Amino acid sequence: MEDKTIIDETIKILRLGGIILYPTDTIWGLGCDATNEQSVRRLMDIKGRVNGKGFVILADIPQRIPSYVDEVPDMAWELIGLADKPLTIVFDKGKNLAPSVYGQSGSVAIRVTQSKFCQQLISRFGRPIVSTSANFCGTPFPKNFDAISPEIVSRVDYVVPGNIDTESTGKPSSIIALGKGNQVSIIRE
């Protein structure tokens, strides 16, 4: 199957509120439409995740960030421009997303994906997608597709074929939080 057909099928599932299992620029992830609360709740159920923890969302380009964040500190643009590996930034106040995407304080975690597949998918879908590791809460994240629990695989609506071109690192992204006055906190290196 060629990439365009795979993207078409993935978008169809996302528009129907489905859950996908897909390769990202970091590790294999579970995803859904980040603006669809019912889908996000279903994803929480699959992972066994508690409410209020929040999710990472993927954007295709940095220019989309202001659509999902009340205020983008200047430092964010510099960090995104300088990042040589996948970087997730936690912003103080999110907007225009499903309520269960936000952390307890209303924060939102966004990564501008470096995966060409994910960039094309999000660009064509026209909305951000949730990106969370393809594992049950409290268990190790899978470093590759073969490490994903068959039970996780059986609970999603679509598995993106693993032979697509992906720049996956096999490691989670670095995470930093940006606060007012360009205050930076490292959450995960």
pLDDT in tens, 47-80: 998 777 899 999 999 999 999 999 898 889 988 9
Average pLDDT, the chain: 90
Q: Which domain does 176 fall in, by range? A: 3-188
Q: How far apart, in whole angstroms, are the C-alpha atoms of residue 118 and residue 17?
A: 18
pLDDT digit string, tens, across residues 23-32: 998 899 999 9
Q: Is 133 exposed, middle or buried (0-12, 13-18, 19+ CB in 10 A)?
A: buried
Torsion of CA 65, 62, 52, 121, to 10 degrees: 110
Task: Give the pLDDT band (50/70/90) at residue 95.
Answer: very high
